[in-house]
Amino acid sequence: MSMSLSNDVENELDMGIDALREQYKSSQLTPQALMQNIRERAEQYQDYNIWIHLLTEAEQATWLADLANKDMDSHPLWGIPFVIKDNIDLAGIPTTAACKEFAYTPSESAQVVQQLIDAGAIPVCKANLDQFATGLNGTRSPYGACHNSFNFDYVSGGSSSGSAVSVALGLATFSLGTDTAGSGRIPACFNNLVGVKPSIGLLSATGMLPACRSLDCMTIFAYNTDDANTVLSVAEGYDIRDGYSRANPFNNQARQYGLRTVPLTVGVIPASQLKFFGDATYEKAYQQTLEKLQADGFQLQEIDYAPFDEIAKLLYEGPWVSERYIATQPLIDDNPDAVFPVVREIIAPGGKPPATGLFKAQYRINDLKQNCLAQMAQVDCLLTPTAGRHFTIAEMLADLIKHNSELGYYTNFMNLLDLASIAVPTMMTENDMPFGITLVGPTFSDRMLMSIANRIQQILPLKKGALYTMGSEAMATPSNTTAVGSTATIDVMVCGAHLSGQPLNWQLVERGATLKASTTTAASYRMYALAGTHHYAPV
């Protein structure tokens, strides 16, 4: 059935998952009409350099026709438009990684893409990116620098540039990106979106062109944590074809979303280790964010950022650049001029580091990791600015290497430490640009972080992306969120080393446990140290 959008519907169109599904159910909208509207609106943004391949009506026809055979209630993404970063495969559509000479046409879609399509989602385009996912700014592409959704003169963030901007401008409900050093978080911050960087291996990497295969993960951009949780629930899953895929061993999958530990203690970087690179507006926004969270009961505990920063520097100054070389060989050897100049400058030396450098770096990371994880065990999560400064495109192009490195000050360490994280928008700066923070937790703490992010979005409600208003009611915890004490959880009483702040509390937290209440034992109760143990245990 053909259908066009009325002016009233188009002007008020809310691209959130629940809003679109309601319009579909009430017959106010059809997926076909929405996709046509998106293609028409996309033409208005050609100068933003968002996409590499915008799908035609004919290319979308099969997926749209398949919706007739899918029940909406059992397909959570029925008719929901999404964008795919162009280093992730979509069957029958070229994958370029922003390099025409490298392009190939896959016969099957990436595992995650196929799962999303099976759930009813409809691809809209293959999005622009920093070539070979090498960069955090969005300017390193022969298809043009991607422009910010709020201010055309500012960088979009990268490397998942088009993925973020397309959602922020209302051309999709969610998008897929990738993340090695921050590519799923920096663009989220700069475009007022939630950016989910899952634990490595939680989402299959089959059909994703790697930058650093041992570190990469697929990411999700969405307007809010509710939508992000829905998408993650569909996209996650063990894939035997992916050598880095891992099954989530803990009881913290979709039903754990919404559970929240009270009170929350978050680790923050001391003022002496914060860097805003001359951006007073970001510094002020960060301090205001902390003040608002404290007013809601968040407790702040300073951590030493030095070991995290030292690990971060190893990502580009250490041997992991060799993985980027492996991913682009033999193109970079046989046809180096086909590679974007600054990308070639970064990747080409990757063929030279000796194996000794890799082992030395791994030894150093493991030494530093002990300190980092010990600090993280004392808090519910870490909280950092997502970025220290938002550069204009002109500023970025004036010193690409330096300013790109500055963008990674708060992001580069996470995958080297095998951590989960989520970028959350918190407020607009004095010059009307978005600012956000990143929450960081141990491997497979993804739903805990998303639940905390959900709470933050309730405290600090913002509009959706660059276009749509979102008030506190729309940001509220979803109706299907599990409540503490429901039949989906069990109550456990612990004492000794498993108490909050004690050495073994992390074993509970990483399994999705949340603190329900604290109490005291009878005065006659005593704790005894068992011979030969490192922790006190009750007997």
Can you state the angle between helices 225-235 and 111-118, rounded to 10 degrees?
A: 110
Angle at CA 402, nearest 5°, toward 396 and 406? 90
- In the annotation, is 183 catalytic? yes
Q: Of residues 85, 126, 197, 464, which has the active-site annotation?
A: 85
Backbone angles phi, psi at 287, to 5 degrees: -65, -40
Tokens of 488: 């989906």
Q: Of residues 141, 160, 183, 204, which has the active-site annotation?
A: 183
- In the annotation, is 360 catalytic? no
3-state secondary structure 47-68: HHCCEEEECCHHHHHHHHHHHH
- In the annotation, is 159 catalytic? yes
Tokens of 406: 């500055």
3-state secondary structure 51-118: EEEECCHHHHHHHHHHHHHCCHHHCCCCCCEEEEECCECECCECECCCCHHHCECCCCCCHHHHHHHH
Q: Contact, 122 vs 79, CB < 8 A? A: yes
Element (H, E) at 404: helix 400-407
Neighbours of 263 (CB within 10 A): 12
* Paired sense of beta strands 81-85 and 174-179, if any: parallel
Each as own residue / partner, the long-range contacts of residues 115-119 (CB below 8 Å, 24 or more positions apart, any chain) are 115/234, 115/235, 115/237, 116/77, 116/82, 116/176, 116/231, 116/234, 116/235, 117/63, 119/75, 119/76, 119/77, 119/78, 119/234
Give residue 334's Cα distance to chain centre.
34
Q: What is the DSSP letter of 338?
A: G
Q: What is the DSSP string of 114-167?
A: HHHHHTT-EEEEEEP-SGGG--SSS---TT-PPBPSS-TTBB--SSSHHHHHHH
Q: Which of 474, 39, 487, 2 lies closest to 223, judged by CA?
A: 474
Q: Of residues 141, 149, 159, 421, which has the active-site annotation?
A: 159
Q: Which of 438, 435, 400, 411 lies closest to 422, judged by CA?
A: 438
Q: How far apart are CA 303 and CA 188, in angstroms?
A: 25
Element (H, E) at 300: strand 299-302
- Describe the chain by its helix, strand, coil percentages, rounded to 5: 40, 15, 50
Strand partners, 12: none
Residue type, 209: L
Catalytic residues: 85, 159, 183
